[in-house]
Amino acid sequence: MRNGTSTLTKTGAALTAALSAIAALPLGSSNALAAGDPTAGQKVFASRCIVCHTTESGVNKIGPSLAGVFGRKSGSEAGFNYSPALKAANITWDEKTLDQFLRNPAGDVHGTKMFVNLPSSEDRLNVIAYLQALKP
């Protein structure tokens, strides 16, 4: 019985250590989101977002300018004709809300005009880091 007790003790200790390590992970926190690479995000932006958006203040394309998007309310960029859904969404753009929206815009805000998503979490984190680096 002594051997069985020893094995259970070791297994319990290993399980406790593993659960403690998982609990310490910053899942879903803005610290985890802030880990993106702005340089890589600029490249993703140039290949996936630039067709519709610009980072030049006051310049709107098919989509609104994303200059100063952090802290801005959804549907509030001057001179852009937003969908009623995005105007009414009352989202303040930050790491978490941008990550959720970019993952599935139409699923996040039903009726938005935005139809392109960024399925890769790494691409989203990098684009978010790029947009955050543009903050005035």
Inside any domain, residue 29: no
- pLDDT reported for residue 135: 77
Inside any domain, residue 22: no
Inside any domain, residue 10: no
Dist. CA 19–CA 34, nearest whole Å: 24
Contacts of 128 (CB under 8 A, 6+ apart): 33, 36, 41, 95, 98, 99, 102
Dist. CA 131–CA 63, nearest whole Å: 15
Dist. CA 118–CA 75, nearest whole Å: 20
Inside any domain, residue 1: no
- pLDDT reported for residue 20: 42
Are 99 and 33 a contacting pair, CB within 8 Å? yes
> 49 vs 28, 30, 43, 71, CA distance in Å?
24, 23, 10, 20
Per-residue pLDDT of the chain (136 residues; tens, 9 = 90+): 455 555 445 544 443 444 344 333 444 434 444 589 999 999 999 999 999 999 999 999 999 999 999 999 999 999 999 999 999 999 999 999 999 999 999 999 999 999 999 999 999 999 999 999 987 7
Inside any domain, residue 15: no
Dist. CA 68–CA 47, nearest whole Å: 20
Inside any domain, residue 25: no
- pLDDT reported for residue 65: 96
Residue 69: which CATH number? 1.10.760.10
Q: What is the CA radius of gyration of the chain?
A: 21
Inside any domain, residue 69: yes
- pLDDT reported for residue 131: 96
Inside any domain, residue 120: yes
Structural domain count, the chain: 1
Dist. CA 77–CA 70, nearest whole Å: 12
Report the predicted TM-score, pTM, of the whole model to 2 decimal places: 0.74
Quote the domain boundaries for residue 81.
Answer: 36-133
